Structure 1
Amino acid sequence: MKFSLEWLKYFLDTEADTAQIAAKLNAIGIEVEGIEDPAERLAGFQVAEVLTAEKHPDADKLQVLSVNTGEGPPLQVVCGAPNARAGMKGVLGLPGAEVPANGMKLKKSAIRGVESNGMMCSVRELELGEEHDGIIELPEDAPVGSSFADYHGASPVFDVAITPNRPDCMGVYGIARDLAAAGLGTFKPIEPSAIEASYPCPVEIRTDDPEGCPAFYGRVIRGVKNGDSPDWMQRRLIAAGQRPISALVDITNYVMLAFGRPAHAYDLAKLSGPVVARRAKNGEQVLALNEKTYTLDDSMTVIADDNGVHDIAGIMGGEHSSVQEDTSEVLLEIAYFDPEAIGVTGRKLGVATDARTRFERGVDPAFLDDGLAILTSLIQRFCGGEASDVVRAGSPPSEPKEVAFDPALTARLGGIEVSETEQKRILESLDFTVSDDWKVSCPLRRHDIEGPADLVEEVVRIHGLDVVASVALPRADGVARPTATPEQKLERRVRRAAAVRGLNEAITWSFLPVPEAEHFAEDGETLWLLDNPISEDMKAMRPSLIPGLLSAAKRNADRGADSLRLFEIGRRHSRAKDGSSDEHPTLAVLLAGEKASRDWANGKAAMFDAFDAKGEAEALLAEAGAPVDRLMVMGEAGGQFHPGQSGTLRLGPKKVLARFGALHPATLQAFDVDGPVMAVEIYLDAIPAKRGGKGFARAPYTPPALQAVKRDYAFLVPADLAAGDLLRAAKAADKANIVDARVFDVFAGQGVPEGKKSVAIEVTLQPGDKSFKDEELKAISDSVIAAAAKLGAELRG
């Protein structure tokens, strides 16, 4: 929000300079983002008088002026403005000055063979308005030779950031009140004079949507003459970043920026029948002032008449009923709209306006009558006209919140001693009412005050946050206890492990576009959809972390990345059985592109495959403390994965700890990613916790005294039998003596019956305190063969 120092001083009597005001604004929580001094831009421009104006000898549309600058001989200036004439006073840009509108640096030059020593300037060239038909004409009493910046009253402009909880400071008036409370001057409150009504309001005004528009006030002013607003008003609007349009429009904008109170003026001749605040009908359309057509639905509040919608309530007026230069009768509208409804409508339509910003934060519901009176008086002052009675449809919130306050709370919460007298002064200067027993009544515009702690904040920020002493927090004696939970420790451990394995951590949004979320939702799972998403592309809570990594992989691949190894630790969201939201800590890995670059030996690059994904899953599960040696490899990784190149790692048939493999081509097509792409998703909350605690000391590892014995077995097994199932069966055949088993060969083809494959495994036996005897080895071997036979395996040879 921008405002000029001159405008601020209209509401605040202060001798403080720009730097002092900026410092105090920052101190009371109104952050100054920048200060611009127009006088710097107008340096080199001064008030000058045209003494003579002669036709240019070689150009029909140019004149050669003799200009008095107040000192020295007159300067010769070539000018093409049609209104340039002898005797007028205007603004002369001297050589060396920079034109604000285009950055052109003025210098002596010859124009069509005639020397010119500067430029007579128009309003647009000095960025003081849009007029460009001629040069600026100053009054006869303008002092020749004086700086135009001083004559014009160029004032520094503050650019401040207003936090969403302070809509009362969305106008210069509210900022002046805060500064006065902080001791930077005296606040000058505005007391609107009573407006004498000349006739009954000829228009029926009502609200048929008391939820969206609790209060709708209006009156008619007839006999107005629209034109330009006064210079002082245009100057303030320009400083605030507004383009002056006409007196009627500028006045409504002025009241909005001065008092934080949006209002609207309709051309009465363009309205038909009652003017009503109501809900829009599904499919209704309105052509707004920005010349865009918006399609509405029945959740949106609008202002309409018999002909249809004229205004998206609280956001933007319509083109059809806007005031023009020939407008002679206006209907003034000032209303109170529900902040939440305005926010929802604005986000649905994608419209951001000054009015929406104020209404969705909450305007002052007590300022309806005063706001309408100020609007009326300004219109009558500059446009003339007679005002009708005020029509008040509905009523705004009118019950002030009362908070029981203990002044001692300021020291306990704020860490600063402030006398009760000073606390009362501060609160009353901010328009709070404080009774003798410290019952504090809050002004209706202060929607942010909910309890005593908020009043402490008001006292402390006005008294001065800089005087709050820095005090160390109390610390208990002894060794600090660990604060991280087991879940946090697990996430830290696997994060380090993933990074050590060469994976790059990504952090993606927890929200997804609905189609992407639906693609990764479990069968029959209902997505969590946000009522007020940041955008339509962030409407669904993610059921998986893989979509975010896929989007990151696509962005990197589009920028030339050949190899992508990404991981993310975060939460995926699902519905619990009772319908509530359920969050699951998850680790996701994505491998795409080249596993190894091409070289002279291989000729071409090696790509990632499903076994790489399985390796990452097992390694990270091991680091997380999962019993990897007891995990089962099974299918059913989900429809997002390639059915022949994916699987799950389970602890028992039903407990899934992870899924891994190549993503399905349809998934890659849906995300516009070139394959192949491997993915892993580890469910950290499914990993069983270790039983018992770990002591500070561990017994040293003692290697076995006797050498291990290894035996090889080659089995004919069904072609669809998983090798992992065969290994588990072999290990379970004699748990006391078999310590490991691994596959070292798989073969299918010549010599192997159709529907079969040959799987060779190596079984490691570890003797204890004595060596195995032949009969013991035979018994163990028979148990391995018998366990394999239960799976349909047959010993070869």
Structure 2
Amino acid sequence: MQFPESWLRSFVDPPLTSGELAHLLTMAGLEVEALEPVAPPMSGVVVAEVLTVDKHPNADKLKLCKVDAGQGEVLAIVCGAPNVAAGMKVPCALVGAELPGVTISAAKVIAREVAALTGAPLRRPEFVPAPVAIADRLPVRIEAPDLCGRFSGRVIRGVNARAATPEWMVRRLERSGQRSISALVDISNYVMLELNRPNHVFDFDKVAGGLEVRWGRKGEQLLLLNEQTIEVDDDVGVIADEAGVESLAGIMGGEATAVDADTTRVYVEAAFWWPQALQGRARRYGFSSEAGHRFERGVDFADTVEGVERVTQLILEICGGAAGPLDDLPVNLPQRTPIRLRPSRARRVLGIDLDAGQIERLLGGLGLALERDGDAFLVTPPSYRFDLAVE
């Protein structure tokens, strides 16, 4: 993945330069492939005023400009811009100016790990639950708890789907490799990147009856948001309504219930999908999605309500509207089994001498709950860590 460093630092801001932070992450096993400044560093560029514009004596398409760049003398500069005119304020590169072009991309960085590595405090977005202003609800039934362990959602009425996405959000999305589409879609994508919380926004008025979370049935078809029509079976999870399949569970929504410029009521959902229920499903159809990529590896099952609240907050701020009650259906959540960790085993595997106090500090910094068990520790993985299972 790629993302702007400024967004990461809004969560955790250690006293390190960009290069030092990238090196620290790489040495910790979170490889930073490259760094790419959004605005390349430059020197020797100033704001100047164009005083006069004349034709170049030896070139038809060039102009000879007299420019005041605050250097104590009027500069003569050759310019090829057809729209240059006297009185304009323009950027002017002085003699010796440096205009480098450097490129940066990043892979795998998580704010929690940065906080643990540096000791810098971790900050999360602050928001309060939206006030319930309407009674609208959408009935949801989970028929496959082995597919979906938790489903949270709410209705928001009176949204302006034509509202413009704020420039700050557009910039963060673009610098994270996401194209701005519309305010509602952008908000959904933004929260996925911000909290690692995939979510989906349905057009409420396009949903027939309620929603049913279940396994597909052979012969059912779905037109996805990527304009691909697929046929599902009983090995593929779906979200359906009375009209048929409306979404490929945890992977991609369907065109039939997609939001558009005329949408006024939406249903925001965030769910916990079991990783094994989604693994390989998108690849069966020859595509992948950001949401599916995350769910296949395990997404925090404790923050579905928080995800819906964050999407709600941004929709109300940007698109307006009134929120209904938030419904939460936890039906089958993972049980976190403590892992017994022996310091002697850690020393043998890592090849470095760590005492019990160091191990306790390191694990605590990663947000792991632990308690002493004789000479060992009982470590309980948090709800967002699916990669911790054995010593």
TM-score tier by shorter-chain length is 0.7 to 0.9
Find the aligned partners of 1:12 and 1:279 in 2 and give their Cα distance: 40
**After superposition, where does 1:219-234 map in structure 2 within 5 Å?**
219-226=154-161, 227-234=163-170
Aligned to 2:58: none
Q: Is the 8 A contact 2:223 2:230 kept in 1?
A: yes
When residues 319 and 21 of structure 1 are mapped into structure 2, their CA distance, relative to the original with a 3 A threshold, is: same
Aligned to 2:212: 276
Find the aligned partners of 1:252 and 1:280 in 2 and give their Cα distance: 25
| Deviation by residue 1:368-420 (Cα, 9 ceiling, x = unmatched) | 11111111112112222211111223435253221122223322222211232
Aligned to 1:718: none
Q: How many angstroms does 1:230 deviate by?
A: 1.4
Corresponding position: 1:109 with 2:83: no
| Deviation by residue 1:127-163 (Cα, 9 ceiling, x = unmatched) | xxxxxxxxxxxxxxxx98699xxxxxxx985411x4x
**After superposition, where does 1:85-484 map in structure 2 within 5 Å?**
108-109=79-80, 111=82, 116=84, 158-160=105-107, 162=108, 175-183=110-118, 185-190=120-125, 192-226=127-161, 227-437=163-373, 438-452=377-391
Equivalenced residues, count: 365
Unaligned runs of 5+ in 1: 52-65, 76-94, 96-106, 121-142, 148-154, 163-168, 170-174, 453-797
Find the aligned partners of 1:69 and 1:417 in 2 and give their Cα distance: 66
When residues 319 and 451 of structure 1 are mapped into structure 2, their CA distance, relative to the original with a 3 A threshold, is: same
Find the aligned partners of 2:286 and 2:45 in 1 and give their Cα distance: 42
When residues 284 and 319 of structure 1 are mapped into structure 2, their CA distance, relative to the original with a 3 A threshold, is: same
**After superposition, where does 1:375-774 map in structure 2 within 5 Å?**
375-437=311-373, 438-452=377-391
Find the aligned partners of 1:366 and 1:278 in 2 and give their Cα distance: 21
When residues 349 and 146 of structure 1 are mapped into structure 2, their CA distance, relative to the original with a 3 A threshold, is: same
Find the aligned partners of 2:338 and 2:325 in 1 and give their Cα distance: 34
Find the aligned partners of 2:92 and 2:159 in 1 and give their Cα distance: 38
Q: SS of the counterpart of 1:19? A: helix
Find the aligned partners of 1:432 and 1:418 in 2 and give their Cα distance: 17
Supply the AA of the counterpart residue of 1:30: L
Find the aligned partners of 2:224 and 2:189 in 1 and give their Cα distance: 17
Deviates more, 1:322-331 or 1:353-362: 322-331
Q: Is the 8 A contact 2:305 2:328 kept in 1?
A: no
Q: SS of the counterpart of 1:221? A: strand
When residues 205 and 419 of structure 1 are mapped into structure 2, their CA distance, relative to the original with a 3 A threshold, is: same
Supply the AA of the counterpart residue of 1:176: A
Q: Is the 8 A contact 2:156 2:266 kept in 1?
A: yes
Q: How many angstroms does 1:71 deviate by?
A: 4.5
| Deviation by residue 1:21-74 (Cα, 9 ceiling, x = unmatched) | 1101101111111211122299999878999xxxxxxxxxxxxxx999975799
Q: How many angstroms does 1:274 deviate by?
A: 0.5
Supply the AA of the counterpart residue of 2:7: W
Q: How many angstroms does 1:267 deviate by?
A: 1.1
Supply the AA of the counterpart residue of 1:381: E
Supply the AA of the counterpart residue of 2:138: V
Aligned to 1:27: 27
When residues 50 and 448 of structure 1 are mapped into structure 2, their CA distance, relative to the original with a 3 A threshold, is: farther
Q: How many angstroms does 1:211 deviate by?
A: 1.5
Find the aligned partners of 1:370 and 1:48 in 2 and give their Cα distance: 50
Unaligned runs of 5+ in 2: 52-64, 94-101
Q: Which has the higher contact order (CA 8 A, sep 6+)?
A: 2
Q: How many angstroms does 1:17 deviate by?
A: 1.1
Find the aligned partners of 1:400 and 1:46 in 2 and give their Cα distance: 59
| Deviation by residue 1:490-547 (Cα, 9 ceiling, x = unmatched) | xxxxxxxxxxxxxxxxxxxxxxxxxxxxxxxxxxxxxxxxxxxxxxxxxxxxxxxxxx
Find the aligned partners of 1:216 and 1:443 in 2 and give their Cα distance: 19
Q: Is the 8 A contact 1:288 1:311 kept in 2?
A: yes
Identity of aligned residues (%): 36
Q: Is the 8 A contact 1:218 1:331 kept in 2?
A: yes
So what's the TM-score if we normalise by structure 1? 0.42
Find the aligned partners of 1:116 and 1:44 in 2 and give their Cα distance: 21
Find the aligned partners of 1:295 and 1:19 in 2 and give their Cα distance: 48
Find the aligned partners of 1:345 and 1:446 in 2 and give their Cα distance: 22
- In angstroms, what is the RMSD of aligned CA positions? 3.4
Q: Is the 8 A contact 1:251 1:375 kept in 2?
A: yes
Find the aligned partners of 1:197 and 1:67 in 2 and give their Cα distance: 63
| Deviation by residue 1:295-347 (Cα, 9 ceiling, x = unmatched) | 22222111121122221111111122111223221100111112122123212
When residues 233 and 42 of structure 1 are mapped into structure 2, their CA distance, relative to the original with a 3 A threshold, is: farther
Find the aligned partners of 1:39 and 1:362 in 2 and give their Cα distance: 35
Supply the AA of the counterpart residue of 1:218: G
Q: Is the 8 A contact 2:370 2:378 kept in 1?
A: yes
Q: How many angstroms does 1:246 deviate by?
A: 1.5
When residues 382 and 415 of structure 1 are mapped into structure 2, their CA distance, relative to the original with a 3 A threshold, is: same
Q: SS of the counterpart of 1:435? A: strand
Q: How many angstroms does 1:192 deviate by?
A: 4.1
Find the aligned partners of 2:42 and 2:272 in 1 and give their Cα distance: 41
